[in-house]
A and B are shown apart, each in its own frame.
Chain A
Amino acid sequence: QSVLTQPPSVSGAPGQRVTISCTGSSSNIGAGYGVHWYQQLPGTAPKLLIYDNNNRPSGVPDRFSGSKSGTSASLAITGLQAEDEADYYCQSSDSILTASVFGGGTKLTVL
C-alpha cells in the first residue's frame, strides 16, 4: 500500500488528453511539500517529468503539465502520442515518515 495513491491504469487515443491523479494526506502533499512526477518507459530508468508541482525540466514537452490542490495533485498529458506509453509515478515528501514517498504508479496505454 503506497502512501500516495494513483490509479493503476489510464488510457487514451492519440491526440487526446489524459490526466493521472495522485492523492496524499496532510503529512505529505497537504503539508505543502511539492509533488514531482516521473516517466518510466518500458525497460528503462525513471526520468524526471515535472518538479515542484508544475515545473518542467529542460527538454520535457509542454504537452506535460502538473497541478496541485489540497492533498492531491494531477499530471495532464495533452496531444497524446504513442511514445507517451509508459508508467508514471508521483513523489513527494512526508513529515511523519521523514522520507520520500512514491505513488504506486499508473500505466498509460495509448490506444
Chain B
Amino acid sequence: EPEVTQTPSHQVTQMGQEVILRCVPISNHLYFYWYRQILGQKVEFLVSFYNNEISEKSEIFDDQFSVERPDGSNFTLKIRSTKLEDSAMYFCASTIRGDTQYFGPGTRLTVL
C-alpha cells in the first residue's frame, strides 16, 4: 500500500539555523499539507499546497516558514531561522481529492 514518507526521522539543530524537512507524498495525490505537534499538545495545521501554490496557511506559518515542491515527488518545509519553540513533530500529509488525508510518520525536530 502506498505511503507518505518523511526524512529525516529526527533532526537536531542549533537555534538560528535553517532546516529543511522532506516529504514524499503518495504519487497520485494532488493536495499536500504540513502539520506540527508540540509534545503533549494538539496536532496543528500549518499549510496546504495545491497546484504548485499555497492554498491556505495558519497563523503559525509565518515568514520563517516556506514550502516547495521542487520536483514531481518531493514536498519540503523550510524553517529559515529556527527557534526553541519550533521543536516539535512535523507531519506531512497528502490526499488525492482533498477529503481524507494520509499522514507520514513525522520528523522530530529538536532545536537546541
A, B co-complexed: no
Interface residues of B (CB under 8 A from A): none
